[in-house]
Structure formats: C-alpha cells, structure tokens
Structure 1
Amino acid sequence: MDKDPLVYQYAIGKRKPYDYDYGNRQGNQNAGCPFCDVAHLENIFEKDEDRIWLKNKYPTLQDTDQTILIESSDHQGDISTYTREENQKLMKFALKCFHEMLNSKKYKSVLWYKNFGPKSDGSLTHPHMQIVGLDKKDGYQDVGEDNFKGFEVGKSGDVEMNLSSHPVQGYQEVNIITYHNQDLNTWADLIQKGTQYVRSVLSHGVDSYNLFFYPMNNGQGTCCKIIPRFYASPYFVGYKISQVDDSDTLKWEAARLKGFVTGGISLN
C-alpha cells in the first residue's frame, strides 16, 4: 500500500494569496481576492453563469493536476447561504466537472473537496471548491464502505442521509449519498441543509467545515461527506485513530438533524 505523502512545493506556496490569518503562514496576504477579479482569470475550462472552473494558478502539489471551481461571484457566499436554486445548479455543475476529470482516465484518482472557515485549511474566503487529479496516488485507499454507513437520518428516493458510525476523522460526520446520480436536486438540498445544520445547530454552530465527495457504485453514485472542523484530536493527529460519539448520542443527533432537514424536505 502506498504510504508516501503528497509533496508540497513551498516555493510556489509562499506566493499564494490568502486572507485567513494563520499567524506564521507564508504567502501574500495583501494581494486582494483573485476570484473577484474575473476579468484577469486565466486557463478557464468552463463557465456556468457566475460559476467558473479553471486551472489552479498555484499548483503546490507535485504529481497532481490542480483545478479550482469558483462557486459564486458573491465573495461572502457559501452553500449554506445560497438560494436553493443556486445551490442545485452549483452541485450539478461541480459534479459534471468532477466526472470530466474522472472519466478522462488520465489520473490514478481524482479528488473533489471544499474548505470553509479558518480550521478547514482554506486560504481564501471567496467560496470555491477544488478538483485535483493525482498522477500516482489512490486518494481513496484508506477510505472504506464503512465510512459511508451509519445512523439513518432519512431517505428520499435515490438519496440517503446518515451520521457516520465509522467516521474518517471523528465525531459527527454527515453523509449524503445519491446511489445513481439521479435526483440531484434532493441531493443538493440535503447537502445545503447539512451545512446549515453544522454552521448553526451542531455544537451550537461551528465556524469551519470540509466537504469531501466520493464516487460510489462504480462511478454511478456519489457521496458527499460533511466534516465539521474542530481542533483535531491527538489520537487522530498522532495515531490516525478516529473517534466517534456513543450510539445514544448519534441516534439523538440523527433525530435532531432529521427534524432540522424536514423543515423543507420530505424524508422517509
């Protein structure tokens, strides 16, 4: 099994613009937001209204093909605050771009994820996702089917929502799965509800989260995993041992999440 780390190219990384204050992080904090300056964006692959997929100007990782998906022209926007229609369009566009790289067969694996907030390891506030082709690594080798199963929140046709009983990192991870990429509107709606729940209800609201997207069912389906970001447990940092809340707490959390979600979405 390949255990080699991805190699970060520091000489490129120190030129990156950033607007989160990480204290000693190297970079250009006064460069302004490059994603707001649409007129000067380069190497654009595709546009959909104000959603833009383009090559990452600062490819900091060796043996990768790094791309950026700008979600919106709203500098302070987020999945949790977009209109329902805007978020549905975003998720369909992003899934299309992801599949374009995935189906090209140019990479050993393709990763799609989103950083939000200061604890997510993001560098820019402007809402964006990243789709990255790995030339030599299987980015999914340490993620298994158990990581997508858990305490059911509810189902709607092809789409399922649950709280992970075997999280990748720890505690409360929300899985939203579409098994055949069919009802993408409901899938997108549940992702939006999940981010709203994480930001406003879970642990009285958290300021950071990540979204990770995984191809499932031989590429016919997709799981979106929402991971609220806290300071990581030393068990995970030092030993790669994830932790999870006890089953009674997760059942209670799943019921609470279902009550939050069904304010606008019908779940079985």
Structure 2
Amino acid sequence: MTKKDRNLIFNPYIAKEKPSNQDACPFCVKDNLGKILDERGSFLWLENKYPTLENAYQTLIIESPEHLGDVSNYQDDYVVSLFDYSIAKWQELKEQGDYKSVCLFKNFGPLSGGSLRHPHMQIVGLDAIDAQAKLEDLYFEGLVVVPQSQDSAEFNISLNPIMGYSEFNVRAPKERIDLLALMTKRVTLFLLRDYFQGRCQSYNLFFYEQEDQYICKVIPRFIASPYFLGYLIPQCHQLERLEEVKSEFLASQKR
C-alpha cells in the first residue's frame, strides 16, 4: 500500500455546513440529531449528519445531555458505563465485517481537532485503510506511573510517542473496562487541572485492541511540533521530565 492509499479524503463542501461552537449546539436538542442507531440511558449512538470523509462510515456517541460534561468530571459509575457502551458499539461495528478497520476516539478542546464542545466520541469505519497497520507495540509502552493490579489499570508515559512530547497510555484486561475508564478519568483530570500548571485545555483519546487488553492513549494537545509536521520526527521529553510528570501525577492523587 502506498502512502496515497492511506490518505483520507476530506470533503470541504460538507464541512462548511457543520455548526460550530458559535452556533446553537445541535447535540443539546434530540430532534436535531442524525439517524439514531441505538440508545441506552443518556447515551446515543447516531450517524454523523455531516460525513466529511470519503470511503468512511462516520458515527457519533453523544456521551451526556450535559453540554459541559466530560470524561474528567463524570461520576465514576457514569464514566465506566460510557466506556462500556462505547467499546461495545466499536466492537459491534467491527464485527459487521464491512470495513477494513474501525476507529474509536474522542476530541476535547480547541486544539484537539474537534468542532463542537458538547461531549461526544466518534466511531468511524474505514472502507480501505487499516488504521493500525503502522502502529508498533512500543508506542504503548513506557515509564510506568501506576502498575496494573487487581484494582488498577496500568498507566504509563510513552518513551516512544507517536507524535511526540507526552503521550499517556492506559492499559487494562478486556474484562476490566471499569479499570480502563477510571484510570482514564484520573489522567484527563490531571491533564486539565495540573499538567503544565493547568495550561492544557485540549486532549484526544484513542482506543486500541491488543490481544487480551484494551488500551486508551491519552494525548495532551498543544500546537503541533514543526519537526513532526514537516519531517515526521517526534520530539520527546527527557526522561528526567517524564519522571517529574510521574511525580506530579502521583502527588495530585493525594488531594
């Protein structure tokens, strides 16, 4: 497969019709939504009304009726239910067998690539692209902050990040989605409250399936490095800085 074969084609004519955060929020009114595929409690799985990608099936999960809700501030039982539901629908679309790969991810904040504040995740089926074909196991390994145990998912800081700087990996057995959800909540709260003295206001979540585990990669978002944009060279923090971040996270958990 050539690089061109991995390109996602974006349709700007559909994109310009999408509402922004300056408009009335379309996710706050159920009548404004696209085709609803499934509903469980406050969660809605629906087709994206503005499918901006060619050769892809774009869907959304509306996480909450609360416009300012977020993984970082949901109650523990709510974030566990959200992860359980989202991963189930991700697997459901995979099992249909209609797509080369299916992606589950979340954008949060102005630098994350998202266009609307209302909390939502995205599940996207790609007709011809294997989204994980170029990913290596080492992207999900790193400096262990919290080890995996019966009561906790593993949380590590990548020593070989995909894009660069700090990338946080949360790993848990497939049967312990609750641990994956609760640790991800702790990491996102740390990012928004403590990381870089609270100057981080955007992040992404990316979900992966690896043998008997699910992985959630949490990426704090700032302006992208020109070395990565121009040359695909990730910039990485010194190990000393990663040790500082580890200590800052552990200290934040004692509040």
The answer, yes or no, to whether TM exceeds 0.5 is yes
- Within a 5 Å distance, the mapping from 1:1-268 to structure 2 comes to 1-4=1-4, 5-19=7-21, 29-30=22-23, 32-154=24-146, 155-157=148-150, 159-178=153-172, 180-205=173-198, 206-217=200-211, 220-261=212-253, 263=254
Q: Could you tell me how far 1:131 is from its partner in structure 2?
A: 0.5
User: Is the Cα–Cα contact under 8 Å of residues 34 and 48 in structure 2 kept in the other structure?
Assistant: no
Q: Could you tell me how far 1:156 is from its partner in structure 2?
A: 2.3
Structure 1 residues 14-48: Cα deviation after superposition (integer angstroms, max 9, x where no partner): 111111xxxxxxxxx53x21111113423111111
Structure 1 residues 52-107: Cα deviation after superposition (integer angstroms, max 9, x where no partner): 11111111000000000100000011111111111111111111111111122211
Query: What amino acid does structure 2 have at the position aligned with 1:204?
Result: Q
Query: What amino acid does structure 1 have at the position aligned with 2:44?
Result: I
Q: Could you tell me how far 1:149 is from its partner in structure 2?
A: 0.3
The structure 1 segments of at least 4 consecutive aligned residues displaced by more than 4 Å after TM superposition are none
Q: Take 2:44 and 2:176, find their aligned partners in 1: how far apart are those partners?
A: 23
Three-state SS of the structure 1 residue aligned to 2:206 is strand
Query: What amino acid does structure 2 have at the position aligned with 1:38?
Result: K
Q: Could you tell me how far 1:243 is from its partner in structure 2?
A: 1.3
Q: Take 2:234 and 2:50, find their aligned partners in 1: how far apart are those partners?
A: 31
User: Identical aligned pairs, as a percentage?
Assistant: 38
Q: Take 1:167 and 1:141, find their aligned partners in 2: how far apart are those partners?
A: 16
Q: Could you tell me how far 1:222 is from its partner in structure 2?
A: 1.2
Query: What amino acid does structure 2 have at the position aligned with 1:185?
Result: D
Query: What amino acid does structure 2 have at the position aligned with 1:48?
Result: R
User: Is the Cα–Cα contact under 8 Å of residues 33 and 49 in structure 2 kept in the other structure?
Assistant: no
TM-score (norm 1): 0.89
Query: What amino acid does structure 2 have at the position aligned with 1:164?
Result: S
Query: What amino acid does structure 2 have at the position aligned with 1:184?
Result: I
TM-score (norm 2): 0.94
Which ranges of structure 1 fall in alignment gaps of 5 or more residues?
Answer: 20-28
